[in-house]
Every structure is written in structure tokens, then in C-alpha cells.
Amino acid sequence: MSRTLRWFAVIGVALVVFGPLGLILYQSFLNEPFFSQSARFSLDAYRYILSDSGFHSAFGTSLVVSFGMTLISVPLGSLLAFLLVRTDLPGKKWLEPWILVPIFLSPVVLAFGYVVAVGPVGFFSLWTKALIGRVPWSLYSLFGMVLIAGLTHVPHTFLYVSSALRSLDPSVEEAARVAGAGPWRIAVTVSLPLVLPSILFSAALIFLLGFELFGLPLVLGDPAGLLVLTTYLYKLTNLLGIPSYHLIAVVALSIVALTFPLVYLQRRMLRTAGRFAVIGGKGQAFRPLPLGALRWPAVAVVVLWLAVTVLLPLVGVALRSLVSSWGEGIKLSEVLTLDHFRELSGYPNLVRGIINTFLIGGVGGALSVIFYAVVALAAHRWQSRWVTFLDYLVMVPRALPGLVVGLAFLWVFLFFKPIAPLRTTLFSLWIAYTVVWLAYGLRLISASLFQVKPELEEAARVTGATQGLVFRDVTLPLIRFGLIGSWLLIFMMYVREYSTGVYLLGPGTEVIGSLIVSLWGTGALDLIAALSVVEVALVGIVLFIALRLGVRLDA
């Protein structure tokens, strides 16, 4: 029984990972879409793309954005991690859950929020103009995009650095204190250097995520004419009037060619980071470092970051959803309305989108967790070369942006005729989501499995239970709570997901995220605002439940 399970896991994962990737590779070597009768093997697509100046500039912009956001989010995230984990920062218990909130917000919603909050005619822009006569910032610029990308990725650094700091033996900091170092000096000379592997790891991660950005550059870069690789890929669809799948495939592969080495690098780094973790002390209670006079400036930094990264865009979205129109000279109190939410019900595709979003998060999320659990259990305490293979396999999707995975699955459903009818059902979306979040989901499940001490399973083996029964009677019940937590986290990720569904969007497969992307092209700001509020509310409710249940957001 457990044997079948293990082979099911290995073969299943290999299929869903290599199938789509193989199809992209195949398509990139054709001169026309794969379903065309006259498609031939050719390198034309490569020639076209590699000599296209638009591709070159998109590549350059992507590089700048990746670098820039890494430079912003790594120092800031490390600082926040130190403040919240190691010091007596006032109100840190209350602040901590908020730090991770940007992870659960859709970038496209955040970007839209910035547009309506601090864009040329945003709420805060116009209020500022009324006060001082001009708007002292410009959202639609490379700098604006990099700044927002950097700020919204602070939680990713925070996640890794804070968990490394938690396992750091406090006595190394106490020694520095005794020697006379202040909190700032301790952070810069002791704590952060000791968790350097985690800091570098998060830097590699953010650099990687920079190439996969889609929502932010789509919304913020477009008005300034800035294209990055993903938006360039997205625009290619409409560029030539005919489906230019071969060109899209080449661009998709070029992104993968950039991200794959980064994923591999991260994996190597993780191994060395593990070796560093030896410094970890026992989980004894320790006295946090007193910040002294730096207390309030430190709180100000955290609160300011939260205000700009979470509050500003969300307030923008919320306000925009409640006004009938907005521009210079309009008084807020005169335009308040709930009409936009009523309007939503007039569009069957939007109503379906909301229902589908809930279904894909709730039902799809649960099915994905089951799939991840099967894969994780298959690898659990299995001493075989296949586990290493599986390990490498699940890291492949991390190099694939959601946009590319969604596209690849669209092609899979077009290519393999027997499964073609599934394309217009939520199943196509579910399997693409499951692949996109494979690494994340597996990490959640493995974190729970890691808590199960081997003796608990061995005791059942010795008592006479087969491997399968050990899973059923001991391992699964023990990670039950972890599975529920994983489900809630996956629910939020699926609800906020937007790029994976872009290419799969059609009647029956609408979800809020991809609807917002397609509505953005039509300029229907009222509907986008209302949909965004619905999405944020859905995530907010589940986030609240998760926090009440004590689910760790930083798994």
C-alpha cells in the first residue's frame, strides 16, 4: 500500500512538472503554434525574440527591478526581524502578525491600491495637492515600481531572517552587551552576521521573485511604458494578432533560464545555512535586548513601513470601491455609494468568479493539501535515491512564474485531446495552482511531519503496524492540526493568486485575481475596486480564523 503511494507520488509529480515544461520546450522549437497543420521545427522564434529590442529592454528592466527590490527589502526585512525577534520593541506582539500580511495580499490588488491612493489622481495625491499645491511624488516611474516591489517583499526576508534569529543562542548577544555594545551595534556586528546565510538566502529568493513579478509591473509600469519580461510575454499575446505561441514559449523559457539557476543556488545555500544552524541554543526564555532611547524611533520605522505597504493601498482600494467617481474638486462625502458592489451581481462572470475563487480556495485548497500530504508522506522516512529525485523535482515549479504555468497548462489541455474538455472546468485551474504552490505546500506539510518524533512511528512498527498503518494511525492524526493550518494558508494563497489564471481564464474558470487582470485592460476601475475588496475580505476572514487557531504564518 505504501509502495503504491510512493510510486504514485513520484510519477504524479514528475508528470505535472515535466508535462507542461516539456510542452513549452517543444513549442519553442516550432515556427507556428503546435496545433497548426503547417508547424515545422525551426529556430525562427528564438531568432525573432533574441533580436527584438523590446525583449532586450524588458530584460534590462527586469534586471533593474530585481536588483532594486532586493536592495530595499533585504536590509529592511533583516532590520524588522531583529527588532521583532530580539529586542523589547514596544507592542511587538501586536505588530508581528501584521508584518506578514503583504504575503497574503494579491500584488495586483496592492498595485491597484497604490494607483488609486497615490497615483496622479489618487486620494492621497489630491489631498496633498490641496494642502501644498503640488504632488511631490510620481508613482509611474521605474523608481516608484522598484520602491513598491521592495517594500512589499520585506516579509519574505523577515520570514527567513526571523526564524534564523529565533534559533540563535541569545548568549552571543548578551556577551556583546556585556562588552558594551548598544542594540544597533549588536544587530550589525553580532546578530545579523551570524544569520548571514539566511539573509543571503532571502536575497536570492527576492532576486528570483523579481523576475516573476507580474501584477505590479502590469499596473504600475504600463502607464510609463515600462515592460518587464512577464508583461512583455503577456503583451506578446496580442502583439501579432495571431496566437504567437512559439514566441511566447521562447520568452517563457528565457524567464525559466534566469530563475532556474537561482533556485538551484538557493538550494545550495540552504544546505550551508543548515550547517550554520548549529549555533542554535535551547529554546529557553531569554530577556530581549533593551532598545533604550531607540525604542520609539524603532516603532516608528515598523509602523511607517506597515502604513505605506499595507494601510495605504488597502485604504485606497476600500475608498475607491465606495465612491461613484473621483477627481480634482470632488468632495469625498458627496460621492459615497455602495453601488459598485450591487453592480457586481449584474455580471454573471464576476459572480461566477467570486464563487469560483471561494471554491478553488476551499475545495481546491483542501484537495491540494491532500495531494501535498501524499507526496510528503511518500518521501517521509523513505531511504531511497528517489527521494532526492523528488526533492529536485518539486523545486522546478519554483522557477516557473504562475503566468507561465497557467499558459503551459492551457497548452497541455489543448494538446492532449482526451483531457481537452477539462480545460473549461475548475480542474484546469486547480492543477495549475497545485503545481505553482507545490514547493510552498510541501514545505508546510514537511514542517508538520518534522514535529513527529521518529519513536512515535517506530513504536507502532514494533507493535506490528505496517508502514501504511503507521501513516494512518500515527503520522496522519498527529499532523492533523498542521494539515488544517496548511489548508488555511493555501486557501489564502489560492484566493490571492491572479497570474496563474490569466491564460486559463474563460467561462467556467473565472477567479477574482485573473478577472482583475483582464478588467485592468478595460479600465473598469469601479468593478476592480469592488472585486478587490471582496478578495481582501475573503483573505482577511481566513487570516483572522488562522490567527485565532494559532496557525503559524511563517511556516
List contacts with another protein (CB under 8 A): 453, 455-456, 458-467, 469, 473-474, 477-478, 480
Joined together, the cell numbers standing for residue 20 give 507542461
Joined together, the cell numbers standing for residue 231 give 508583461
- Kindly state the smallest distance separating residue 380's Cβ from another protein, in Å: 15
Closer by beta carbon to another protein, 71 or else 469: 469
Residue 156: other Cβ atoms inside 10 A: 21
Phi, psi of 466 (to 5 degrees): -75, 170
Joined together, the cell numbers standing for residue 223 give 502607464
- Kindly state the smallest distance separating residue 244's Cβ from another protein, in Å: 55
Q: What angle do CA 141, 146, 148 make, to 5 degrees?
A: 95
DSSP-H helix ranges across 41-91: 44-50, 53-86
- Kindly state the smallest distance separating residue 475's Cβ from another protein, in Å: 10
Residue of 203, 189, 232 whose CA lies nearest to 55? 232
- Asked if 339 and 135 touch (Cβ cutoff 8 Å), the reply is no
For residues 197 and 200, give the distance between their C-alpha atoms in angstroms, rounded to a whole number: 5
Residue 287: other Cβ atoms inside 10 A: 9
Find the Cα–Cα–Cα–Cα dihedral 369, 542, 102, 235, rounded to 10°. 70
Closer by beta carbon to another protein, 240 or else 462: 462
Closer by beta carbon to another protein, 14 or else 465: 465
Closer by beta carbon to another protein, 353 or else 485: 485
Closer by beta carbon to another protein, 475 or else 500: 475
- Kindly state the smallest distance separating residue 1's Cβ from another protein, in Å: 13
150: Cβ contacts below 8 Å, ≥ 6 apart: 68, 69, 70, 71, 72, 73, 76
Closer by beta carbon to another protein, 479 or else 530: 479
The helix (run of H) or strand (run of E) holding residue 260 is helix 245-276
Joined together, the cell numbers standing for residue 349 give 462572470
- Kindly state the smallest distance separating residue 364's Cβ from another protein, in Å: 28
- Kindly state the smallest distance separating residue 125's Cβ from another protein, in Å: 56
For residues 406 and 114, give the distance between their C-alpha atoms in angstroms, rounded to a whole number: 26
- Kindly state the smallest distance separating residue 548's Cβ from another protein, in Å: 22
Closer by beta carbon to another protein, 56 or else 453: 453
For residues 212 and 198, give the distance between their C-alpha atoms in angstroms, rounded to a whole number: 21
- Residue 87 β-bridge partners: 289
Closer by beta carbon to another protein, 42 or else 463: 463
- Kindly state the smallest distance separating residue 484's Cβ from another protein, in Å: 14
Closer by beta carbon to another protein, 169 or else 473: 473
- Kindly state the smallest distance separating residue 473's Cβ from another protein, in Å: 7
Tell me the Ramachandran region of residue 550: left when phi exceeds 0, alpha when psi lies from -120 to 50, beta otherwise.
left
